[in-house]
Amino acid sequence: MTANILLIHPRDNVAVALRDLAPGEEATGSGVTGFKIRNQIPVSHKVALRDLAAGEEIIKYGEVVAVTTQPIQKGEWVHTHNLESKRWRK
């Protein structure tokens, strides 16, 4: 099966969509255990690799890039509607 998500760093708790992903589709990629996509995820956007609590750090590139503003379930789209950039956080 062809990979449709990319895990950039082993420490990451999000992966990147390699193409538009549809709800119910199986997420596949090197270093990632398959799981179902929960909502529409545009190409190059983030998808949660595990359940994330509100206030939890988003790790991409092996670094903290943002903090969740609400709980996010494994397979959900991770974007500005449910996170806050660490760059602007006080």
Question: What domains lie within the chain, and their CATH numbers?
Answer: 5-85 (2.30.130.110)
Where are the strands (E) in 1-90, listed by range? Answer: 5-6, 14-17, 26-29, 32-36, 46-48, 57-60, 63-68, 77-78, 83-85
CA distance 58 to 48: 9
Predicted local distance difference test score (pLDDT) of residue 30: 93
pLDDT at 90 exceeding the cut of 70: no
Residue 86's pLDDT band (cuts 50, 70, 90):
confident
Each residue of 8-66: pLDDT tens digit?
999 999 999 999 999 999 999 999 988 999 999 999 999 999 999 999 999 999 999 99
- What pTM was computed for the model? 0.92
Predicted local distance difference test score (pLDDT) of residue 88: 55
pLDDT at 89 exceeding the cut of 80: no
